[in-house]
Structure 1
């Protein structure tokens, strides 16, 4: 049986910790009393974040690392052992992305997305399994996406990498459980989250990118991640609006194709709100970091009924109802955005 420690007794490794979901998770983990190792490429951002979090009484260490390099994964583990004696949970959050058609995005960029999103996550997971197996168990939390279930037009390489993440996570979970290792492996599937993702992605479209509505606050994903560090779960969806994409892809795949062809590109483009140019395109090298939230003017949902229902076993019968409420909200957001765009 897998028994996970309370957060206040844990050391947590977080990759991709310099912005967005990773940073939101680090901040909340420290607030709940966990020791945290922040791993990312941006040394300046990591040092500033560590100083800020430590000033509030947190126990924080950093490791400058590129998860696409196996030697850097090894160094993350060594840093955790050196600073804290090891770790109890490992969160694979680092990611890379592009906007543009499959034909537009060069193979070199598509390969780099897989090096980070898939190979980096896989190497991190395997390193975590080896450490946790030797130290009494723990949790691995992998960042998937609703696009693990259903590809998004003009985000083909990212969608493909997240589908691969889901397959590898499921396979590793089965193998670890078959071996009897006391390790929980959870896949988190967020919807559109209000992070600097559009600014960080390399863009091959003619207009600036944006995330399709509805958007959810990164704190919700952080809550799901930290819940999985304490509570074994197979997977957790964050945001019913994104779950609509996953559900539609399973129930009516061809109709979903047509809907994406009709609206999918436009809902990912903005001509008037490009965000912070200092954050633009961190595919191969770090840019401005340190922000949890994105810089575009968007409406952001602060709750996810679907997530709360998944967290509470006694509420499982109400998951469908919670999903229905969020799905209807998500559909209204998309249609309202599309109508407003037509009126402009």
Structure 2
């Protein structure tokens, strides 16, 4: 029987790219997001690639809507095998320029949306004693950067919540698994339609990876969920090691470079904003999986290859440490 997979945030970016990969496996894919234009386009892609789509528009910040998604998925497609939490929102601005309502909304979607999805998935998986939940996390959930305080706080919260849940599942001896795929900067439409108070177009911190790299990491995590987390992209690994070795130095470096590195000099702000309402309401509004940075985004990652080949793990760990040490040296010279 085909897998039944629920993907939140499936209308664009990493969620959209992940839906395509599952479709190629012939899976039944439940596509969840607010933007119906993006969802319908994603459903067409899933069907064309060999999967069976089910479109369920929903705001993951509302637990009742998320529960309705789970009910419809099992009624129409059968037991849920994999639940992938990927939906999020954000605000690009210094903290003192973010309103309480904006901060709350980002937290509701980016953190509580994951909690709501996990709850609905567990309600069905625990009695069957099987199933996998993948949280699409971020390197920013362990190493925060400026201008994204709400998003970074939410991603940190996901890590804490998931670690707590994992210990509860271990205590029960449950065969339900939960894991986190930690992401680097990814070329998604997020940077086109995020709420921003920056003077220039928001952009991911370079180097930037294509959504397909992230999606392959999500799929691998779902296929091998016994590890508590997976790092996608060599920069994710190097950043986390650098943060462990020299967090204060990294603070100083990000204070100097973090504002400029998240703004594109060549593009003005778009004026689009999906924080409270979707921007892809019609098929013509569909953004696909990719954002505006195809020219500079990487389609491959050496670290991804190492993760898929256990014999190379030691080599990869050594390379990550060397990369971190090299990075710290560069930070020292720049922050001096």
Q: Same fold judged by TM-score > 0.5? A: yes
Q: 1:329 to 1:281 in 2, by over 3 A?
A: farther
Residues in 2 aligned to 1:56 and 1:310: alpha-carbon distance in whole angstroms: 26
TM score, norm. by length of structure 1: 0.88
Corresponding position of 1:268: 262
Q: Any stretches of 5+ residues in structure 1 without a counterpart?
A: 1-7, 339-344
Q: Partner of 1:215: helix, strand, or coil?
A: coil
Q: 1:329 to 1:297 in 2, by over 3 A?
A: farther
TM score, norm. by length of structure 2: 0.90
Instruction: Report whether the alignment pairs 1:23 with 2:16.
Output: yes
Equivalent residues, number:
326
Q: After TM superposition, give the deviation of residue 48 of structure 1 in Å.
A: 2.8
Corresponding position of 1:177: 170
Retained in 1: the 8 A contact 2:200–2:265? yes
What are the within-5 Å matches in structure 2 for residues 150-229 of structure 1? 150-229=143-222
Q: CA-to-partner distance for each residue in 1:279-321, whole Å, 9 max, x for gaps?
A: x221111113441111136411222222332333333212223
Instruction: Report whether the alignment pairs 1:248 with 2:245.
Output: no
Q: After TM superposition, give the deviation of residue 223 of structure 1 in Å.
A: 0.9
Corresponding position of 1:310: 307
Q: After TM superposition, give the deviation of residue 85 of structure 1 in Å.
A: 1.4
Greater CA drift, 20-29 or 54-63: 54-63
Q: CA-to-partner distance for each residue in 1:213-260, whole Å, 9 max, x for gaps?
A: 100121111111111222122111111123332222221111111101
Residues in 1 aligned to 2:323 and 2:232: alpha-carbon distance in whole angstroms: 11
Q: Any stretches of 5+ residues in structure 2 without a counterpart?
A: 281-285
Corresponding position of 2:93: 100
Residues in 2 aligned to 1:52 and 1:71: alpha-carbon distance in whole angstroms: 28
Q: Partner of 2:205: helix, strand, or coil?
A: coil
Q: 1:328 to 1:63 in 2, by over 3 A?
A: farther
Q: After TM superposition, give the deviation of residue 330 of structure 1 in Å.
A: 8.4
Instruction: Report whether the alignment pairs 1:287 with 2:284.
Output: no
Q: CA-to-partner distance for each residue in 1:12-46, whole Å, 9 max, x for gaps?
A: 00000000000000011101221110000012321
Q: 1:326 to 1:281 in 2, by over 3 A?
A: farther
Q: After TM superposition, give the deviation of residue 92 of structure 1 in Å.
A: 0.2
What are the within-5 Å matches in structure 2 for residues 108-187 of structure 1? 108-187=101-180
Residues in 2 aligned to 1:330 and 1:64: alpha-carbon distance in whole angstroms: 43
RMSD across aligned positions (CA): 2.4
